[in-house]
Structure 1
Amino acid sequence: MAGVLVGLVVFFLVQGTSTGTNTLTYSITKISGDTWLPDFVLVGMVNDVQLLSFDSSIIKLKSHQDWTEKAASHEEWEAHTSRAFQEQNFLTERLGTVMNKFNHSGGVHTFQRVAGCELDDDGTSRIFYQDAYDGKEFLSLDLERETWIATVQQAVFFKQILQASKAYILKSYKEECVYWLKKYLEKGRNTLKRRVRPKVRLLEKKAVQPAGSEVTCHVTGFYPREVEVTWLRDGQGPLEEGVWSGEVLPNMDGTYQVRKTLTVSPEEQERHRYTCQVDHASLGEKIEKECGTGSHTGIISGVVVSVLLLITVMIAGALIWRKRQAGAKTTDYTAAQTTEQSDASSSSSSNS
């Protein structure tokens, strides 16, 4: 079951959005067997924003944005709901047929579909279509050749069915998909077209091995997702050797973050100037952070020095206070002895 779910996640992550392109994607999953998951799930998204969902546990088309339903009339929304039910019935039948093709009679199995369309800023549009069985590619659309590709022998049967109605599918599906993508972009422009500036900081991990120090350029809080993070040496780049790039990851607030780490020796740091450069749609000009001028370790070092100095002052103050207290007690004790001795002397004189 775990392997199937990993495959499901990887399969859904293959779709991306490039700069200047908007995408409407429908991701559908049908699961057989006994699991804790709904056996049917449909999710609609524009770029990285979820619009709607439908699953077998709720049996209702749910809007995830206040503007999703505004893009459709009441009749159109009802038509969307009916289509979700149709997809559920269709994929239930499809999964059963595919299981028979693989001679799978039971257990947990998944059939997934990712389909949709892309619209470039210049008006160019295209569709995409991909099926997977148990997390592995099964059938896909080759748009350039306008044909379906059967990845495994068991998919040839379904390819032939799709080829028979190829012209209708390519034309009608594309027209309808692009139509809805345009409507969603219009109604949701405040969300989909927003721009949020990234925050950039350098985190330096001092060298513990001959390989050198690790300096991480952490870029966070930006939207949209597309960002370019580059390490430069003496203003030249991009550097590739000694650079590790992390994946762009989502934040809880709907923005994104990414890390790019440079490994550099102390000698190279002395000889060269290393800079992290960030380019994003929200920026008028690129952000540049130079290594060694504002890295997190420098801040930490300054704080540590300040704390140590404060501790030193406190210890010195405590020692002085204790010394004064000890000195004060000694003086009182001596005075008391002197007084007692004086009294004793006086008494002796009187008795004499």
Structure 2
Amino acid sequence: MAKEKLLGFCKTSVEGSHSLWVLATFIHGQTEFPEFSAVLMLDDVQLLYYGSNIKKFVSRIQQNSNDGNDEAAYEGSYIVAGDMYDSLKWRSLHLKVLSNHSVGVHVYQRMAGCELNDGKPSPIMEWDAYDGTEAIHYNMRNHTFNALWPASIWKELKLETARLIYTNIYQPICIKTLKHYLNEEKNIVMRKERPRVRLIQKTDRDTGGVTVSCLATGFYPRHINLTMLRDGRPITEQDLTLGEVLPNGDGTYQLRRSLSVSEEELREKHHYTCTVTHLSLDNKLDVSWEPEDDPDNVFITVVIVLVLIVFFTTFIAAFIICKRRHKECPRVRLIQKTDRDTGGVTVSYLATGFYPQHINLTMLRDGQPITEQELTVGEVLPNGDGMYQLRRSLSVSEEELREKHHYTCTVTHLSLDNKLDVSWGTEDRTNT
């Protein structure tokens, strides 16, 4: 069965859209698995399992969910399971003969189900595959067959009979079961979990380049947009290492995007941003990174900023008075600088562009606050545009890097409804 269909069947990607799918398998040949098995899925939550060896449905619903009265749903599921078992057995035998497969193990699969889009039921849908090759695709508008097996194509009378069965039996059962479980499991499938975003940087000491990874984790539902930008422009997917949305094992998901930055590109001092949008977020979440400037450039920049502050004090004061009633959200940047002599790293978190000037910026190691004695603590400084900035830095030794601690910068500010967490961790560095 096409990989993109299996990856995309969960309809939690759009708010108000939910789906119910049966994933069924019939096996010819001797294996340790039952001849026929099926799994019932609500969005990405497994509800029931059925095996021909046990001839009954087994609930896969979490104990704390509202699964007290499933008899009505089970009744429809048993009808569908029985019909599906007979159908898969007959069709797989038919294609086995057409394909001259007399020995070995052969698998016939089916994915069938329905959707509710903002309360409106969809037609029933179905995909069949034999040994991984799509055999039949059915919806209410057409019923198509793979041309590899022209002898399996149905005649008009059989197609009309199938349409009546799907319309009058299977679709009502599917929609009724979907509504039942959607009501029972609404606390699970309709919840929203905010993503936590981490920037992970790995230096290649042979080339001097860096791999920067943006990891969004702990989010639900599974659909998320994660974009990486260079100087405000989207980086093409051809330049990125693209991961897939993967389950965490606790009902949430994770997604990773990685970019290789050469030593030459590092010297060009581009500004990189990871932008995340998700149903749980009111606004997009931006986490930025750029290579640390050279010490001479930092000194020159500081001198220029100080001169501008002195020169424009009067204008800045007037602008601050005008902005007194406004709130500006901080932008948080992670700046990492590797000391090639010691192998250690200096990690700096810079919150900038915020107003009013009071802000809390705390750094944690494995969830525990890091004392100020360990940090290089900057003061809240004006940006020159009526906004402010604050920096905290931590020196991490090479030995501490090997211990693979998890570092977090937590920011609270009047402009934020919730605290903002930006995390950083180290990969296994033995191969660098």
TM-score between the two structures when normalised by the length of structure 2 = 0.62
- Deviation readout 1:188-243 (Å, 9 max, x if unpaired): 10011011111111111224576942211011111110000011223343554522
**Matching of residue 15 in structure 1 with residue 9 in structure 2:** yes
The answer for the alignment partner of 2:271 in structure 1 is 273
1-side partners of 2:139 and 2:77: how far apart? 27
Matched residue count: 301
Q: Percent identity?
A: 35
Q: Quickly say closer, same or farther: Cα 1:90–1:279, change in 2 above 3 A.
A: same
2-side partners of 1:154 and 1:134: how far apart? 13
The answer for the alignment partner of 1:64 in structure 2 is 60
1:249 CA drift (Å): 0.7
- Deviation readout 1:105-143 (Å, 9 max, x if unpaired): 232111111100122126252332111111110111255
Give the alignment partner of residue 36 of structure 2, picking from 28, 34, 40: 40
1-side partners of 2:190 and 2:150: how far apart? 39
**Could you list the runs of 5+ residues in structure 1 that have no partner in the other structure?**
1-6, 311-352
Structure exhibiting the larger radius of gyration computed from Cα positions: 1
Letter paired with 1:58:
I
**Structure 1 stretch 260-269 or stretch 280-289: which is displaced more?**
260-269
**Matching of residue 203 in structure 1 with residue 178 in structure 2:** no
The answer for the alignment partner of 1:285 in structure 2 is 283
1:169 CA drift (Å): 3.5
The answer for the alignment partner of 2:301 in structure 1 is none
**Matching of residue 294 in structure 1 with residue 334 in structure 2:** yes
Alignment partner of 1:57: what SS? coil
2-side partners of 1:239 and 1:76: how far apart? 46
Contact kept in structure 1, 2:218 and 2:252, CA below 8 Å: yes
Give the alignment partner of residue 84 of structure 1, picking from 78, 81, 105: 81
Pairing 1:145-160 to 2, within 5 Å after superposition:
146-154=141-149, 156-160=151-155
2-side partners of 1:308 and 1:11: how far apart? 45
**Matching of residue 104 in structure 1 with residue 101 in structure 2:** yes
Structure with the higher fraction of residues in strand conformation:
2
1-side partners of 2:207 and 2:187: how far apart? 50
Letter paired with 1:107:
G
**Structure 1 stretch 102-111 or stretch 294-303: which is displaced more?**
294-303
1:94 CA drift (Å): 2.8
Task: Please report the RMSD computed on the Cα atoms of aligned residues, expressed in angstroms.
Answer: 3.2
The answer for the alignment partner of 1:113 in structure 2 is 110
The answer for the alignment partner of 2:159 in structure 1 is 163
2-side partners of 1:297 and 1:254: how far apart? 36
**Could you list the runs of 5+ residues in structure 2 that have no partner in the other structure?**
291-332, 348-393, 401-432
Alignment partner of 1:271: what SS? coil
2-side partners of 1:199 and 1:206: how far apart? 23
The answer for the alignment partner of 2:136 in structure 1 is 139
Q: Quickly say closer, same or farther: Cα 1:175–1:156, change in 2 above 3 A.
A: farther
